[in-house]
A and B are shown apart, each in its own frame.
Chain A
């Protein structure tokens, strides 16, 4: 099972390999018409807000994707669409209603129903709960978790919320300026943090258990992606940066079998950032 996350204000295209055919996530999103003919069902991108067509009832929109992928009659597809609605917790009768008649959380569930109608092997969830309230967010996350457990769907969860990562993901990849700078299991990245940027993200979050704790934001801003620094892209904002970081681009290094990070400072024996335990 694959479950990954990328964090950072500029998430960029990542190539993932599914059924031995390499695909580019962003490419999939833009050329929607073509790829559906090439790949019957394995991948389904799923986006936040404004993804539903305002002039069609929701069940028609779900049925449309089933019809295209499964080559069944429109009547059968419509019946299946209503089943899908029920699965995400919306009564069948509401299938004839239009998107504006649903609340934000329900619209998001309709989008999930469309994405899952053809039982994809992989679901790409791009900030699925960003526009939602906490209680509704909890419902949507619960739904995604159930899918993962019951149908064995793999999920790429794209989010900036480390809390959501902790609750839904198995593996984590942290991105900065177009590169994955740290990747590992949930435990690796949260408890054995290696990269200074990951540490900075954690320090920027208010700690719910300690309200007096001070926030330590990462100073400065993301570099301009058209004009990245020669060395490590995080070097200008990094409190651990040294001379070498300015010139040399760090490559991803194995720390354990599951945990990789790209930081030059670890070349020095004994170096470790303030957060996180050391790997034994």
Chain B
């Protein structure tokens, strides 16, 4: 039995806006076991990235608790948090804006190692080369600047920077969505291989469902700041319960011709505003199955099968 590395309970983040409270993340709870990957999917603006950043406390959560290896992250003072950051890192979505344009590749990769005194100064260079080998960057690129490199190579720098501290946990915030298909596959393979070698735990945030299915052990589906369904990847894809999850899965364009015809569930409308939400199921306005009950209060996350959680008033009807 693997142990739980991250445990998030009732994580909440509200942003104050001129029009009222924006509920970016609203009472999200989940846990990730050591060495596993949790995929988080959902539409843009549903709070996936905010959740990831709250766990690292790059954004201060409004409420809730985050246990990392048994320690409460939200209660840490700045020095404790600084030390904790060595164990939790992030890979950003955009390899074009997340690297300092005035630093060379070596400087970018070395900066976190200098900050945490990972290796003695005289070994920094050797360690940099070792990291570059690990992520598949040619050593000759050590003195180039990010603008000289293409997106795939830049993302490799981001990966090297994240693993330079030997972290336990990495939040991958859409690490491949800015990349070409063939380069995307290279980076995904790299992340998988590093997970095997270093025993990393990932939280993999993406809106690409075929990528998340390939990459994750568990998948969490978010809608308007809420977790609506969470299950092991295979279970979620073979037996989705929440109407939103079903619509998402049916909307994936599959690159196959002549396969069995799939029934496509088209959703009406778009994700509504997360400001001043009424007390009803957040998906009710777009849901094809919504009824009177759905307007009465937000459904709670319920375990319908071992490991399979759904937040839907009518989930009992949908389970086969």
Contact = CB atoms under 8 A, between A and B. Distances in A.
Q: Say whether A and B bind each other.
A: yes
A208 B252 contact: yes
Nearest to A215: B185
B84 interface: no
A163 B189 contact: no
B63 to A, nearest CB: 28
Contact of B43 (A135, A160, A191, A207): A135
Interface in A97-124: 103-106
A218 interface: yes
Interface stretch (A17-25, A72-80, A164-172, A225-233): A164-172
Contacts of A12: none
Contact of B247 (A9, A135, A160, A202): A135
B301 to A, nearest CB: 21
Given A205-B181, A216-B185, A187 B257 contact: yes
Q: Residue among B184, B186, B257 with the most chain A CB within 10 A?
A: B257
B184 A105 contact: no
B255 A134 contact: no
Contacts of A136: 43, 270
B233 A208 contact: no
Contacts of B237: 208, 211
B70 interface: no
A106 B255 contact: no
Contact of B248 (A134, A190, A206, A221): A134
Interface stretch (B49-57, B101-109, B110-118, B203-211): B203-211
Interface string A201-243: 1111111100101111110010000000000000000000000
Interface in B132-179: 150, 152
Contact of A211 (B186, B234, B252, B253): B234
A163 B44 contact: no
Interface string B78-116: 000000000000000000000000000000000000000
A26 interface: no
Q: Residue among B150, B183, B185, B253 with the most chain A CB within 10 A?
A: B253
Contacts of A200: 182
A38 B258 CA distance: 42
Given A103-B270, A134-B248, A206-B188, 18 more contacts: A134-B251, A138-B267, A139-B266, A141-B253, A142-B266, A165-B255, A166-B255, A186-B257, A187-B257, A201-B181, A205-B185, A205-B210, A207-B210, A207-B214, A211-B213, A211-B237, A215-B185, A218-B185
A201 B188 contact: no
Nearest to B213: A211
Given A200-B182, A206-B211, A221 B150 contact: yes
B180 interface: yes
A163 B253 contact: yes
A161 B255 CA distance: 8
B256 interface: yes
A201 B252 contact: no
Tell me whether chain A's interface is mostly helix, strand or loop, or mixed: helix
Interface of B: 43-44, 150, 152, 180-186, 188-189, 207, 209-211, 213-215, 233-234, 237, 247-248, 251-258, 264, 266-267, 270-271
A65 interface: no
Contacts of B267: 135, 138-139
Q: Residue among A203, A206, A213 with the most chain B CB within 10 A?
A: A206
Contacts of A216: 185
Interface of A: 9, 103-106, 133-139, 141-142, 160-167, 186-187, 190-191, 200-208, 211, 213-218, 221
B44 A133 contact: yes
A217 B257 contact: no
A104 B270 CA distance: 10
Contacts of B183: 217, 221
Contacts of A139: 266-267
A135 B180 CA distance: 22
A105 B270 contact: yes
A166 B254 contact: yes
List the 6 closest A-B pairs by CB distance, nearest first.
A163-B253, A206-B214, A217-B185, A162-B255, A204-B185, A138-B251
A211 B266 contact: no
27 contacts: A133-B271, A134-B43, A134-B248, A134-B251, A135-B248, A135-B251, A137-B253, A139-B266, A142-B266, A160-B181, A162-B255, A163-B210, A167-B253, A167-B254, A186-B257, A187-B257, A190-B257, A200-B182, A202-B255, A206-B188, A206-B210, A208-B210, A211-B233, A217-B183, A218-B185, A221-B150, A221-B183
Contacts of B266: 138-139, 142
